[in-house]
Structure 1
Amino acid sequence: MNNNPMDMMAAWMKIAASYNEMTLSAGEVIARRTMIMASGAMSAPDAMGILMEKVTIFATATEQASVAAASGADPARITAAALKPYSTQTESNLRQLRR
């Protein structure tokens, strides 16, 4: 574990930037999916997939954060491990919806 305050600050700033990017992408995903739902173009399996991805991502994020914590990672690395699955899925959803 690195206790250098500048390194810790840099790690948290990187997490904040990643979280901000994910939040902006999530907003666009929500807006696009809402338009699809409102137009009646979303199928029942697609709607169920949206629900199920939340459960899957939560489980994956919990697992990755737990592995990082068990490995002795510092809080910033644990947080980054937990955030990664959400960021990855949000970006994937956005790419699919922009097609």
Structure 2
Amino acid sequence: MKNNPMDMMFAWMKIATSYNMMMLSAGEVIARRAMMMASGAMTGPEAMGMMMEKATIFATASERASVAAARGADPAQITAAALKPYSTKTRTNARKLRG
């Protein structure tokens, strides 16, 4: 990405939009899982997966951000690389819990 201020502004706006979409999905996942726990419908594997996914996603996000930084990416690209695994997982979880 060039040092054009407008390009950077659009890059950060895209990140903000992606982050907001991820937070909406995360809120849905939290609400659905809370209802599952409250009703006794959460299975052992679901509970274990819910706990384990945090560490896995953090490691993946850290790795992708590190690789982007090592390749000389700008801060917006590094942030986007770190955010993508979280966004993907929250959308996937929301879809899975709806069905």
Query: C-alpha displacement at 1:11, in angstroms?
Result: 0.1
3-state SS, counterpart of residue 57 of structure 2:
helix
Runs in 1 of length 4+ with deviation above 3 angstroms? Answer: none
Look up the equivalent residue of 1:94 and give its one-letter code: A
* Structure 2 unaligned residues grouped into runs of 5+: none
CA distance in structure 2 between the partners assigned to 1:75 and 1:26 by the alignment: 24
Counting aligned pairs with the same residue, the percent is 77
Structure 1 portions without partners, runs of 5+: none
- Offset at residue 68 of structure 1 (A): 0.1
Cα deviation, 1:66-93, whole Å, max 9, x if unaligned, reads: 0000000000000000000000000000
Q: Give the AA of the match of 2:54.
A: K
For 1:66, the equivalent position in structure 2 comes to: 66
Q: State the TM-score, normalized to the length of structure 2.
A: 0.98
Partner amino acid for 1:22?
A: M
Count, aligned residues: 99
Q: What corresponds to 1:24 in structure 2? A: 24
- TM-score of the superposition, structure 1-length normalised? 0.98
Q: Secondary structure at the match of 1:95?
A: helix
